Structure 1
Amino acid sequence: MDFHSHPILLAFTILFVNTFFINYMFLGVVDSATPSIVSDKEALISFKSQLSYKPTNLLSTWDVNNSNSSPCNWTGVVCSNESDPRVIALDLSGLGLTGSLSPHIGNLSFLNSLQLQDNKFTGTLPHQITNLSRLRVLNLSSNGIQGALPSNISSLRQLQVLDLMANEITSKLPEELGLLTNLQVLKLGRNHLFGAIPPTIGNLSSLTQLNLGTNTLHGNVPSDLGRLQSLEVLDITINNLTGTLPPSIYNLSSLVDLAVASNDLWGEIPYDVGVKLPNLLVFNFCINKFTGRIPGSLHNLTRIEVIRMAHNLLEGTVPPGLGNLPFLKMYNIGFNKVVTSVEDGLSFITSLTNSTQLNFLAIDGNQLEGVIPESIGNLSKVLSKLYMGGNRIYGKIPTSIGSLSSLTLLNLTSNSISGEIPPQIGQLQQLQMLGLALNNLSGGIPNSLGNLLKLNNLDLSGNSLLGSVPSFFGNFQSLLSMDLSNNKLNGSIPKESLNLPSLSTILNLSNNFLNGPLPEDIGLLENVVTIDLSKNLLSGHIPSSIRGCKSLEALFMANNRFSGPIPNALGEVKGLEMLDLSSNQLSGFIPKDLENLEALKYLNLSFNNLEGEVPKGGVFGNISSVHLEGNKELCSHLECRNSEGRRRAVIVVIISAIVATLALCIIVFSLLQVRKSKARIAQDHSEATKGQFQMVSYEELRGATGNFKEENLIGNGSFGTVYKGYLSEGTAVAIKVLNTQMTGSWKSFAAECEALRNMRHRNLVRLITSCSSIDFKNMDFLALVYEYLSNGSLEDWIRGKKLKANGEALNIADRLNLAIDVATALDYMHHDCEVPVVHCDIKPSNILLDEDLTAKLGDFGLARLLMEKRGTQTSISSTNVIRGSIGYIPPEYGQGEKASTAGDTYSFGIMLLELFTGKCPTDERFTGDLNLPRWVQSAFPKNLMQVIIDSELLLHAVYLDEDDGMDDEYVSPEIEHDCLAAIIEVGLSCTRDSPDGRIIMRHALHKLKHAQLTFLKHANGT
């Protein structure tokens, strides 16, 4: 046809072609009137263009350059069987693909299944995906998809499976989900969903699986979920859900898996729950506040596999019927208030012998009383973990326990078990942890324990075990910790038992009757952190091989019979922080090499036979950290010099006897010099003690606390308890009594004294005095007396345990003030002290508030001083022990790095984020690689107010905005947003993974003060 002879037709053709190309190139969507396999191919090509993968030939069948190549032959592509085929399914799961999802995926208009799970897709979910009106399966689980769910997700009316588990999706659950009435599987767990569970989900009448676990959902569980009569799996674990579980949930007779663990749910579990849920296989109610009794009807569910009710408030006895559960794999009722009846005792254990698949049994932390039945050996042959500690179990350990051949953990600590350790325990060759501590066990340690070659934790302390330390302990080449303290062991320490190169936490043989010399093989313990050999009968020299203990931080050898000199080799153990050699028979001089132990904070050499001059450098410069009493021949520099002067004077008198006048002059002169020296010594001592506090006695503190009455108890710390008391002059104080039986208490005492000795600041808790004495039981007594701060800890305020006088929680200004107080204290410690101090344990419970809500930093039990070396700061503590509290510890400490100011900055950043989000860093929602900073970063700044900021804070802010009578305190939402954004940004800058990437505390303080200035300026209308 000649277009030139038909100009109208020519114009129409040009317009059509131009329109086609414009639509294709700029809109990326083919005209819906002409979709074909060609348009499907183009969409797949665009999809592939945004992917990367290894190996590079992974999608080699996708021949995008061959115009004749049909996508129906490509990997993962399924087409319909028609003359004009269309792409109906795409399955590229588990291929390790990276990249983002192309919007062109919305052009596969015949697609009914899209499965891209187990890859590494990032970016947002394109809204074009809702164009796939035929889609029945959408599975993008285990990727890195971010952002919110598409607002028009209700367009996918044919959808039957929606699985977006384990992504980074941050949004509320849209009400529109209730319009997907064909949905059978809805999995949105392990994301960052917030807000309440919409009641409209109850409209999904075909739903069989609902997984919303591990999010930040809050509010009540809607009773509308009880309308899902086809529901088989309900998982709402690890959220912030509150209230009681609606009774309607227990009417879902099709439920197979019911999991509501790790929330704040409460109320009684219906006793007939098993009758109402006859098909239940998984019952997971742990870590809540459920009360009442264990529902007996659960034990009638013959197909049930998991029963978890740990960490609740359940009472009563274990109901009968456990013998009806042949498929049970886990039974966990630990840490409740469950008791046993007098007649039945622990007979319920016998019932569990029918559960041949049981691999986890935990009944610990209850009030169970009775004898372990011999039938325990008949439990499942696949039982791996058995927790029975913290009860009132008595009698002997049955010999049949050796039949549990798959056990990796056996914990019977803190009971009243008696008799001998049965040799049959040696048959448990898979055992990794054996805990029999704090019982009444007697007899020797059976040789059969030498067969436990996989053991990494052995605790037999606090019993009445006899005999010697077995030489077969040398077989334990995976052992990390060994505690045999507080028994009646005797004989010498066999050198074989010290051939434990893997031992890295503690070797505790204290409080026994061990005798003989300490083997040279002690030097083989090069990774151990604490060695405690105190209160034995060990004798001989301290071996110089101790220098081989390169990681040693604490060495306790007091109350033995060691003799000879203190080895110079101890000066080579550079990480040593505590050394106690008191009450021995050591002689000779104190090695000057001990001055070089820069980490040493506590040294006790008292009650030995040491002589000569006391060194002056290092730890010896701090009189409160060194104990030398009971060594009559020791002298200070001036005393030693004076003694030598007297000897010379006598010689001069003898030689010059014939010149009596001259001799008399010399004698008079010498006496005058002695008098002046004594005066100087007294003056030096006066200057040394000037300004230091006077220590108080045990009796004074006992009277101040009313004999340490429980009503005066105000808290528990890492190494003891804190009481409120009143000194003789009526001053209210907080008295921290340290538990001297706990490993590390002396180190904590010394660290706090050293850290606070030269520090004075308005934002540091003031140490008034201390007490190192003996109590009425003739036991060591240590206490630190602090100023009393009436408003408790910051943790109490964050958790809502404390409120202001008007019943309100802390508002933005209050929290910012507190953050600045703590930052000011750290800035002073890091930059203005003569020797920089690292706190090592910044967390809300260590920040106390006075009556004016001024924050003060306390608890310096883990504090470390820093040395300046070549312009860098170096910690003088050992490198291989993590210091701090879980959740606040900087990541580099877990890799062996020393304490640093950057570590404090990280902990402060975590505290700052917790203060403004209300989220605890140890919350169970933070699993795997997800932690508090990453959770905040994923929603910052777009969803700052909706997701990140504590809802209590926002409620208070709205109240201020709506108060018409307080115009001078009006703060617009924009100003609030900007202020909170600046604060969160400081928190994120403090918590970067790399220490070098974090800002210093001085800069953090400056940024917080700037945010405060801007906020207050607008709050006051200026």
Structure 2
Amino acid sequence: MGFPSHTMLQFALLAVLITSKSLLLAAGSPALSTDKEALISFRSHISMEPSKSNPLSTWSQTLSPCNWTGVRCNKLGKRVVELDLAGFGLKGSISPLIGNLSFLRSLKLENNQFMGTLPDQLGNLFRLRVLNISFNKIEGVILPSISRCVELNILDMKQNEISGRIPKELGNLTNLQVLNLGQNHLSGEIPSSIANISSLTVLNLGTNTLGGMIPCDMARLQNMKRLDLTINNFTGTVPSPIYNMSSLSYLALASNDLWGRIPSNVGVTLPNLLGFNFCFNKFTGTIPGSLHNLTNIQMIRMAHNLLHGTVPPGLDNLPELQMYNVGFNKIVNSGENGLDFLSLLTNSTHLNFLAIDGNLLEGVIPDSVGNFSKALVKLYMGGNRIHGRIPASIGRLSSLALLNLSDNSISGEIPKEIGQLEGLLMLGLAGNNISGKIPTSIGNLKNLLEVDLSGNELEGNIPSSFGNFKKLLSLDLSSNKLNGSIPKEILNLPSLSTHLKLSKNFLTGPLPQEIGSLDSVVTIDLSDNHLSETIPDSIGNCKSLEELVMAKNLFSGRIPHALGALKGLVTLDISSNKLSGPIPGDLKNLQALQLVNLSFNNLEGEVPTGGIFNNMSRVHLEGNPKLCFTSACEKSRDHLSRVILLCIITISLILAICFTISLLLYLRKSKVQITATSESFVRRQHQMVSYDELRVATGNFNKENLIGNGSFGSVYKGYLRDGIPVAVKVLNLCTTGSWKSFLAECAALRNVRHRNLIKLITSCSSVDNKNKDFLALVYEFMSNGSLEDWITGKRRHANGHGLNLLDRLNVAIDVASVLNYLHHESETQVVHCDMKPSNILLDDEMIAKVGDFGLAKLLINISTNQASLSSTHALKGSIGYIPPEYGLGEQPSVVGDVYSYGITLLELFTGKRPTHESFTRDLSLKKWVQMAFPDNVEQVLDPDLVPDKDSLCHDDQIIAPEAQLDCFIAVFGVGLSCTMDSPNGRINSREVVCKLKSIRDNLLKPQPEKKMEMEKYP
């Protein structure tokens, strides 16, 4: 039986279709393999950071490229048509095999780190419509071969390193809609062939070094919407046809060398404008009023030109306006109401940038500025002829980040409402006639980065609320009438890194020690004030200082040697003061120093030689008659030696005669027994100083010199008559037991001598200026502060590092040594009842000394027949360091000191206080360390110790991390042995010293195989 003819025809057609599809499949597979091979090659030129996840992890040989990240195929799944790897953070170069992706229509590689040059094979991608390689590091030139990509409609290569000329072949891309080559290094002229791209809607050639005249032919691009030629070297006038490209919505020709007048009807011929940017050129004429008729315009920028005339009317027609910048021209509006045009901008509810600065505008700021857009971020009005007051309504501009009203004639007071601008970053009111006090409300502006109130008539004190500016970079209050002392709060601003200028005011009092907190500031200018007393040594902590000007003040005392630590200092001017003593020789070692002015002081001695002192044209020493140069000083010394010799002989003869007479008189007298009271007993021990001497030494016990408070008094830093820095402990006689404490400390320190014990220089038992009893102890001053400061990070070395392992081990041995001495080696056994880091101080050489600046009390048995002198408060100690038996009523003992020392040792190496918030319920510092001991001690180490493990060295020898770990384990073992709950189970202070010294010896044991090669580590 046969099939009908039409059925046979259907079978034949079906067979043909199956065969055709098979052939297509057979043909498609090799093509996809070609694309896959090209992509594999592309990936092989890319490197990824190990720490980041690999976005190309799906690019596997076992998968079809159509399933790979960033790859899209056509509907049949046989050819790659899009490669989008934008923002993947890829590094490497672009493989030449990219040219084999012949069906590719879109190539997006922007926002990566591709380097090298563009492969010429990109020209093979003739179907390409989008090419975006912007924001990479591509070098070389734009390839003419790209012009072979005849379907290209987006070409974006901005923000690379592309150089050379724009190839004329780009004119072949007749379908191109977006051409963005901005932010490269292109030069030369714009090729006229660009005008052939009739479909072009966006042309961005900004931020290059293109030059010459702007081609008139570009006006043929009637579909253009955005034209950006900013930051180039174009010169001449703007071709008039450009102003007739009616489709333009954005026209930017800023930062060139263009001149001529802007047509007054530009707003008519360019009716679709949204952005108009002609700033930084030499345009003349007036502001085109027709721009104010473009109700949709968002940006008008014409700053830094030569425009004149007035601001034309119509600003109230711009509801979409976001930026209006006509600053730095010659625009004039005169009369009392000359600024009323600003009121028209209240209709622009999207305005975020307004600049009219640097013009010739007059008038009073209208109160309506407070009705400006709540989106206003920057307001520039400086450099005009504005007068009157700052309206209080300005405080309503809640989004304001920058307010610049400097260099006008504004008067009145600063409105306290400025304190409502909590987002303000920059406040500039300099160069006006503003008077009154600085409102404390400015302290509410905690985000301020820059404050400039200089050149006004401000008076009163500098508000201590300025201490709230924790982000402040620069502060200028110079050339005002401010008085009072410099508040230490403004010196506790470590962020201050640009300048601190307080010159030309009436500031008084000493310069606070806190000046040393400004370790990042570049310029300090305190000149032309009435500042007095000594220049604090802490100035040496300002390691970034380049300019220090303190001239025309009343500073006295010596020039601090600490200035020699300012390695970057360029200018030093401390002239016209009352400084005395020699010039510090360390100044000659400051290689960056370009100017030194020490004139009109009372300096004496030899002028240093070397460094800047070899170029006396840069050194000013006039007005110091006692200074001399080397040859003159030698002659003076010879003459002085002869005079001294004669005086010595004469005085010796007189003394011999006096001694003989005194001896004869003494033999005729009987001995007299002198009975002394407790107070007179103390007076005999030291050369006592008077109340007045201590009052002068501490600046009348100025709070700015206060360095500590304790239960029985306060401690001040001061300077004795010979310039020696001291710590003066003034006892509060209203506190019960203060006299006992005074006598106990005097007796203790009279009976003990040790290099690791704070030295008592003298004492004072007198009456003050109110005829009340006055007691004080004068100790040596410890320049490197307390161990607590170092543990908490308040103090660091000049290189920014804290205490390393060796530093901490040496401190631990120093403290243990003095405890051993007090407990076992002194004639009178002493128990220190408050051992903790705040009572351990460090001198210039980082040697630790035990002292009492507030809470530490001593328990002394002066002899076996004498009752102990103690303070009842001393038995309490400090929370966290008190041994458990004290809480049960036990008397202070040497084993109690060992417990407190053990807690201090654990804190020193963990960086955690025993009162840290993490220690709750049954967990304590000791138990926390105990749980990690010995296998996991690294988990409880102070984080500051971890980075040192691979770099710690001693005597040119690297200390192996293994040796350091052994050291940590051993130290924690000592600390735990000191803090046993049972007093009988603790080791004594003598054993502590022996163990720690042995630990240090083992740590520093020579390791030849670890010897550093000095030529490799200069």
The match for 1:556 among 535, 549, 555 is 549
Partner of 1:142: 135
Q: Which runs of 5+ in 1 are unaligned?
A: 1-30, 658-877, 881-1022
Structure 1 residue aligned with 2:171? 178
Write the letter of the residue equivalent to 1:336: N
Rounded to whole Å, the distance in 2 between the matches of 1:443 and 1:185 is 58
Distance apart, 1:280 and its partner CA: 0.8
Structure 1 308/647 Cα, relative in aligned 2: closer, same or farther at 3 Å? same
Does the aligned pair in 2 maintain the 1:612–1:640 contact within 8 Å?
Answer: no
Name the TM-score, length of structure 1 as normaliser.
Answer: 0.57
Match of 1:318 among 280, 304, 311: 311
Matched residue, 1:478: 471
**Separation (CA, whole Å) in 1 of partners of 2:54 and 2:493:** 50
Query: Of 20, 41, 46, which residue of structure 1 is paired with 2:38?
Result: 46
Matches for 1:71-110 after TM superposition, within 5 Å: 71-82=65-76, 85-110=78-103
Write the distance in 2 (CA, Å) between the matches of 1:172 and 1:656: 95
Do residues 467 (structure 1) and 441 (structure 2) align? no
Partner of 1:151: 144
- Secondary structure in 1 matching 2:131: strand
Match of residue 775 from structure 1: none
- 1:291 deviates by 1.3
Question: Residue 535 of structure 1 aligns with which residue?
Answer: 528
Do structure 1's residue 384 and structure 2's residue 377 form an aligned pair?
yes
Which residue does 1:342 correspond to in 2?
A: 335
8 Å contact 1:37–1:87 — kept in the other structure?
A: no
Name the CA shift for 1:448/1:89 in 2 (closer, same or farther; >3 Å): same
Match of 1:644 in 2: 640
Letter in 2 for 1:360: F
TM-score, with length taken from structure 2: 0.57
Question: Cα deviation per residue 1:793-822 (whole Å; 9 max; x = unaligned)?
Answer: xxxxxxxxxxxxxxxxxxxxxxxxxxxxxx
Deviation at 1:440, TM superposition (A): 0.9
**CA separation of 1:518/1:190 partners in 2, compared to 1, >3 Å: closer, same or farther?**
closer
* SS of equivalent residue, structure 1 residue 425: helix
C-alpha change, 1:113 and 1:32, in structure 2 (3 Å) is: farther
In 2 relative to 1, CA 108–371 (structure 1 residues): closer, same or farther, beyond 3 Å?
Answer: same
Matches within 5 A, 1:664-813: none
- For the 8 Å contact 2:349–2:373, the answer to whether it is kept is yes
8 Å CA contact retained: 1:40, 1:107:
no
Counterpart of 1:166 in structure 2 is: 159
- The equivalences for 1:500-515 within 5 A come to 500-515=493-508
CA gap 1:103/1:599 in 2 versus in 1, 3 angstroms: closer
Asked whether the 8 Å contact 1:614–1:637 carries over to 2, the reply is no
Of 437, 440, 462, which aligns to 2:433? Answer: 440
Rounded Cα–Cα distance in structure 2 between residues aligned with 1:396 and 1:600 = 44
Give the structure, 1 or 2, with the largest relative contact order (CA under 8 Å, sep 6 or more).
1
Contact 2:422-2:447 at 8 Å conserved across structures: yes
Alignment partner of 1:466: what SS? strand
Alignment-derived partner of residue 763 in structure 2: none
Partner of 2:601: 608
Cα distance change, pair 593–266 in 1 and its aligned pair in 2 (3 A):
closer
- Alpha carbons of structure 1 residues 570 and 278: separation in structure 2 relative to 1, 3 Å: same
Q: 2:346 aligns to what SS in structure 1? A: helix
Deviation at 1:572, TM superposition (A): 4.5
Secondary structure, in 3 states, of the residue corresponding to 1:193? strand
After TM superposition, the structure 1 stretch with the greater mean CA deviation from structure 2, 421-430 or 125-134, is 125-134
Q: Which residue of 2 aligns with 1:746?
A: none
Q: CA deviation at 1:544?
A: 3.3
Query: Structure 1: which amino acid aligns with 2:633?
Result: H
Offset, 1:151: 3.2
Which residue of 2 is the match for residue 798 of structure 1?
none
The alpha-carbon deviation at position 476 of structure 1 amounts to: 1.6
Contact 2:42 2:98 in 1 (8 A): no
RMSD of the alignment, in Å?
3.3
| Structure 2 counterpart of 1:544 | 537
Task: Tell me how far apart the structure 2 counterparts of residues 331 and 236 of structure 1 sit (CA, whole Å).
Answer: 20
More displaced 10-residue stretch of structure 1: 341-350 or 310-319: 341-350
Deviation at 1:516, TM superposition (A): 2.2
- Which residue identity is paired with 1:374? D
Determine if the alignment matches structure 1 residue 413 to structure 2 residue 409.
no
What residue in structure 2 maps to residue 518 of structure 1?
511
Q: Please state if 1:263 is matched with 2:260.
A: no
After superposition, the Cα gap between the structure-2 partners of 1:97 and 1:466, relative to the gap in structure 1 and judged at 3 Å, is: closer
1:290 is aligned to 2:283: yes
Distance 1:111 1:617, change over 3 A: closer
Indicate conservation of the 8 Å contact 2:38/2:100, yes or no.
no
C-alpha separation between the residues in 1 aligned to 2:349 and 2:558? 62
Change (3 A) 1:100 1:43: farther
- The answer to whether the 8 A contact 1:47-1:101 is kept is no
Which letter maps to 1:521?
Answer: E
Counterpart AA for 2:480: N
- Report the AA paired with residue 532 of structure 1: D
Per the TM alignment, residue 448 of structure 1 is displaced from its structure 2 partner at its CA by 0.5
Please state whether the residue corresponding to 1:502 is helix, strand or coil: coil
**What SS does the corresponding residue of 1:283 show, helix, strand or coil?**
strand
Q: Distance in 2 between matches of 1:145 and 1:590?
A: 57
CA distance in 2, matches of 1:879, 1:419: 47
Give the distance between the partners of 2:325 and 2:28, measured in 1 at CA.
57
Distance 1:355 1:141 in 2: 34
Distance 2:624 2:99 in 1: 87
Contact 1:44 1:105 in 2 (8 A): no
Deviations 1:192-245 (A, max 9, x none): 333322223223222211222222322211122212221111111122222211
In the alignment, what sits opposite 1:396?
A: 389
Contact 1:338 1:367 in 2 (8 A): yes
Distance in 1, matches of 2:161 and 2:353, equals 32
Partners of 2:474 and 2:453 in 1: how far apart?
11
Deviates most, 451-460 or 522-531: 522-531
Query: Is the alpha carbon distance of 1:35 and 1:57 closer, same or farther for their aligned partners in structure 2, counting shifts above 3 Å?
Result: farther
Structure of greater Rg: 2
**Alignment deviations for residues 665-690 of structure 1 (CA, whole Å, 9 cap, x no partner):** xxxxxxxxxxxxxxxxxxxxxxxxxx
Determine the C-alpha separation between the residues in 2 that align with 1:128 and 1:469.
Answer: 68
SS of equivalent to 1:36:
helix
What whole-Å deviation, never above 9, does each CA across 1:949-978 have from its counterpart, x for those lacking one? xxxxxxxxxxxxxxxxxxxxxxxxxxxxxx
Aligned with 2:213 (options 200, 220, 228):
220
Distance in 2, matches of 1:365 and 1:134, equals 53
What secondary structure, in the 3-state scheme, does the structure 2 residue paired with 1:394 have?
A: strand
Correspondence for 1:455 among 444, 448, 452: 448
After TM superposition, give the deviation of residue 634 of structure 1 in Å: 4.8
Distance 1:98 1:554 in 2: 43
* Cα 1:42–1:441 shift into 2, 3 Å: same
1:98 & 1:189 partners in 2: Cα distance?
Answer: 22
SS at match of 2:247: coil
| Structure 2: gaps spanning 5 or more residues | 1-22, 654-797, 801-1018
2:450 maps to a residue whose letter is N
Contact 1:606–1:631 (Cα < 8 Å) also in 2: yes
Q: Cα offset for 1:625?
A: 4.2
Q: 1:207 aligns with which of 194, 197, 200?
A: 200
CA offset at residue 256 of structure 1?
0.9
Q: Which amino acid aligns with 1:78?
A: R
Deviation digits for residues 880-908 of structure 1 (CA, Å, limit 9, x no counterpart): 9xxxxxxxxxxxxxxxxxxxxxxxxxxxx
Query: Cα deviation per residue 1:40-80 (whole Å; 9 max; x = unaligned)?
Result: 3313322322322546763444443x4xx544444434344
Q: CA offsets, 1:563-621, max 9 Å, x none?
A: 34444444454544443333333345555555665655544443334455555566555
1:251 to 1:519, Cα distance in 2 relative to 1, 3 A:
same
User: By how many angstroms is 1:114 displaced?
Assistant: 3.2
Assess, with a 3 A threshold, how the Cα gap between structure 1 residues 34 and 347 changes in structure 2: closer, same or farther: farther
Residue identity matched to 2:643: R
Tell whether the 8 Å contact from 1:520 to 1:545 is kept in structure 2 after alignment: yes
Identical aligned residues as a percent: 63
